[in-house]
Amino acid sequence: ITVAQKLIPQFLFMSVGVSGAFLYLIRLACGPYVSWDRKNNPEPWNNLGPTYQEIGLHEQLNITKHYKQTNKQTTFSMHALSLNVRSCGFGTT
């Protein structure tokens, strides 16, 4: 019985996580831009309103712009990291 009492928090967190994921899936499936009717509206992306802003994956990530902005910061932080490791005695030869 004591082993079962130790597992109660695990089952509690798992049930909260699974129910949250299920509710989010229902929220996505019932969104305004999802069509479940193939006969009356086979191509719902053609009927989007003028205020709908479509963001593609390449615009959302924008890797090259992000790389250009953080390249100097990354180089500096990696240099500082290597200095910290060497000062601890791990990088000495």
How does residue 91 score in pLDDT terms, banded at 50, 70 and 90?
Answer: very low
- For the chain, give every domain's residue range: 1-35, 60-93
What are the structure tokens assigned to 44, written together?
């719902």
Q: How far apart are CA 49 and CA 73, in angstroms?
A: 41
Q: Phi then psi for 41, rounded to 5 degrees?
A: -145, 75
pLDDT in tens, 35-71: 777 787 777 767 777 777 666 655 555 556 656 666 5
pLDDT per position as a tens digit, 3-42:
788 899 999 999 999 999 999 999 988 877 777 777 877 7
pTM over 0.85: no
- Tell me the three state secondary structure of residue 90: coil
Query: Does the pLDDT at position 73 exceed 70?
Result: no
CA distances from 49 to 2, 33, 45 (A): 58, 10, 10
| CA–CA dist 4, 10 (Å, integer) | 10
Give yes or no for a contact between 8 and 2, defined as CB atoms under 8 angstroms apart: no
